[in-house]
């Protein structure tokens, strides 16, 4: 594929991990970063994630492709302005919500230069120091509303993701946001809620630390995620998250009722039904 000079707006967990693989796979002819945080900018340079940190306007002018890897509220605030300034650059994002973003630029004259994407990978950590090598290998990336993007932009972005080892999925933005609410967003809310439950009821920090099993650690791991990233996601995907959350609460009530009524036969049925997830997740 054609190598391009690439600007990464937001050199944190996602942007930094992309930078590592773009360099490793020889996709970037040069990498510059755009960072609002001085400490993140300094760390990104120290780690060699990018060659330079530039102001946004200079990064746009110096690049042939622009990756947006900032929280989704910042993304919606800057995307139209970026498209105002591009000539023939390819612009794509790595955000967790899509419908509001694509609607925002639906009638923009440079809409075709933008490709809406969501690489389905992340950790509970943030910042340039959280960047992970080969993070995206064998993971899925969702490309939304592909018909609204120029053919050359779509082709280049697809090749980029394939070269870093990702599987391509295509769907409409509204479908993406609904599915993301089920497979990602509800997991984070559940983790935040469970962590708060334990912190409220278990006053002994040492007891939590000493007794925490692998199961507990894996369930609450996401509770360490950055609120400045997740509050905007929940805000933008509010209706879908509420729908999923209502169903989740309904399921929790079933478990609660089984215990209150000592209906252990139905409790076993609920757990056996949950075991069917093995068919999907090995």
Question: Where are the domain boundaries for CATH 1.10.3660.10 in the chain?
Answer: 176-279
Is the model's pLDDT at 253 over the cut of 90?
Answer: yes
In angstroms, the first-to-last Cα distance of the chain is 34
β partners of residue 92: 67, 115
3-state secondary structure 54-118: CCHHHHHHCCCEEEECCCHHHHHHHHHHHHHHCCCCEEEECCCCCHHHHHHCCCCCCHHHEEEEE
Q: Could you give the percent of the chain with pLDDT greater than 70?
A: 96
Written as six digits, the tokens of 165 are 């080892």
Written as six digits, the tokens of 181 are 């609410």
- Distance, CA of 107 to chain centre: 25
Question: What pLDDT, on the 0 to 100 scale, is given for residue 281?
Answer: 79
Is the model's pLDDT at 267 over the cut of 80?
Answer: yes
144 phi, psi to nearest 5 deg: -105, 145
37 phi, psi to nearest 5 deg: -90, 120
From the list 146, 137, 140, 136, the residue with the least C-alpha distance to 116 is: 146
Is the model's pLDDT at 212 over the cut of 90?
Answer: no
Question: Where are the domain boundaries for CATH 3.40.50.720 in the chain?
Answer: 4-172
Q: How big is the chain, counted in residues?
A: 282
Helix (H) or strand (E) holding 249: helix 238-260
Question: What pLDDT, on the 0 to 100 scale, is given for residue 204?
Answer: 67
Is the model's pLDDT at 29 over the cut of 70?
Answer: yes
Question: What pLDDT, on the 0 to 100 scale, is given for residue 201?
Answer: 75
Among 1.10.3660.10, 2.60.40.1260, 3.30.300.30, 3.40.190.10, name the CATH number for the domain at 176-279: 1.10.3660.10
From the list 160, 164, 173, the residue with the least C-alpha distance to 135 is: 164
141 phi, psi to nearest 5 deg: -125, 130
- What 3-state DSSP class applies to 175? helix
Q: Does domain 4-172 have CATH number 3.40.50.300?
A: no
Question: What pLDDT, on the 0 to 100 scale, is given for residue 10?
Answer: 98
Confidence label for 214 from pLDDT (cuts 50, 70 and 90): low
| CB distance 13 to 125 below 8 Å | yes
Higher-confidence residue of 277 and 257: namely 257
Written as six digits, the tokens of 74 are 């910042």
């Amino acid at each position: 594929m054609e190598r391009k000079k690439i600007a990464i707006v937001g050199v944190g967990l996602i942007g930094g991990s992309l930078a590592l693989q773009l360099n490793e796979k020889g996709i970037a002819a040069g990498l510059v970063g755009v960072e609002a945080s001085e400490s993140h900018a300094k760390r990104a340079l120290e780690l060699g994630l990018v060659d330079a940190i530039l102001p946004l306007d200079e990064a746009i002018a110096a690049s042939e492709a622009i990756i947006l890897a900032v929280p989704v509220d910042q993304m919606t605030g800057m995307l139209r302005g970026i498209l105002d300034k591009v000539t023939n650059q390819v612009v794509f994002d790595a955000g967790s919500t899509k419908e509001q973003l694509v609607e925002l630029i639906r009638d923009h004259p440079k809409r075709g230069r933008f490709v809406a994407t969501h690489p389905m990978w992340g950790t509970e950590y943030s910042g340039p120091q959280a960047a992970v090598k080969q993070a995206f290998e064998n993971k899925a990336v969702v490309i939304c509303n592909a018909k609204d993007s120029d053919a050359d932009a779509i082709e280049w972005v697809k090749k980029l993701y394939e070269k870093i080892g990702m599987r391509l999925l295509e769907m409409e933005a509204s479908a993406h946001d609904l599915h993301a609410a089920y497979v990602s967003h509800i997991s984070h809310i559940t983790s935040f809620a469970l962590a708060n439950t334990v912190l409220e009821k278990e006053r002994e920090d040492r007891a939590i630390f000493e007794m925490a099993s692998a199961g507990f650690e894996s369930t609450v791991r996401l509770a360490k995620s950055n609120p400045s990233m997740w509050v905007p996601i929940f805000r933008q995907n509010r209706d879908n998250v509420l729908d999923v959350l209502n169903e989740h609460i309904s399921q929790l009530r079933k478990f609660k009722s089984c215990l209150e009524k000592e209906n252990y036969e139905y409790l076993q049925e609920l757990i056996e039904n949950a075991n069917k997830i093995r068919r999907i997740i090995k």
